[in-house]
Every structure is written in C-alpha cells, then in structure tokens.
C-alpha cells in the first residue's frame, strides 16, 4: 500500500508540473488541451492519494474541485470549436 501511495503522490505532482509548464508555454490550442488532459490524470491520482492517505484528505478535496476545472479546460481546448476571430 505504501508503494502505491508513493506512486500516486509523485505521479500527481510530476504530471501537474509538466501540465503547468505546457500551459505556460502557450503552444496552441491542441497542446494546451493535452496539458489539461495531463492535469486531469494528475487530479485523479491526487484524489486517490488524498483519500487513501489519512493525512491528505484536504488534497483529495482540493483535487476534486481542480478535476472539474481541468475537465472544463479539456472541453474548451479539445472539444469546443475555436472562437471566431
């Protein structure tokens, strides 16, 4: 169980950093959308870690909210058509 918690924690943290770097580079709609997909996987990992680790429930709750925000990002950048310019 400890190994699984460690993997969830570090995957969530690492994926979040990679996704944030991708968004900050403003590489276009498609890659920004991909960054939000990575954010979604980060949130899922940190939700699991937060609720499986008795000392990290706050991180689990925070990432439920971030998951919803990240899903909105996936929709805006990968599903919805680009706004007319």
- DSSP secondary structure letter of residue 53: S
Contacts of 50 (CB under 8 A, 6+ apart): 56, 57, 58, 59, 60, 61, 62, 63
pLDDT at 81: 86
Region 6-30 average pLDDT = 97
Burial of 8 (0-12, 13-18, 19+ CB in 10 A): buried
Q: Tens digit of pLDDT for each residue in 39-55?
A: 999 999 999 999 999 99
Burial category of 47 from C-beta neighbours within 10 Å (exposed 0-12, middle 13-18, buried 19 and up) = buried
Q: What is the pTM of this model?
A: 0.92
């Amino acid at each position: 169980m400890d190994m699984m918690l460690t993997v969830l924690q570090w995957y969530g943290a690492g994926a979040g950093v990679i996704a944030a770097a991708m968004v900050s580079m403003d590489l276009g709609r498609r890659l920004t959308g991909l960054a939000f997909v990575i954010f979604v996987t980060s949130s899922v990992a940190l939700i699991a870690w937060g609720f499986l680790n008795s000392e990290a429930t706050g991180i689990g709750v925070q990432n439920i909210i971030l998951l919803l925000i990240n899903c909105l990002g996936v929709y805006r950048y990968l599903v919805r058509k680009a706004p007319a310019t």
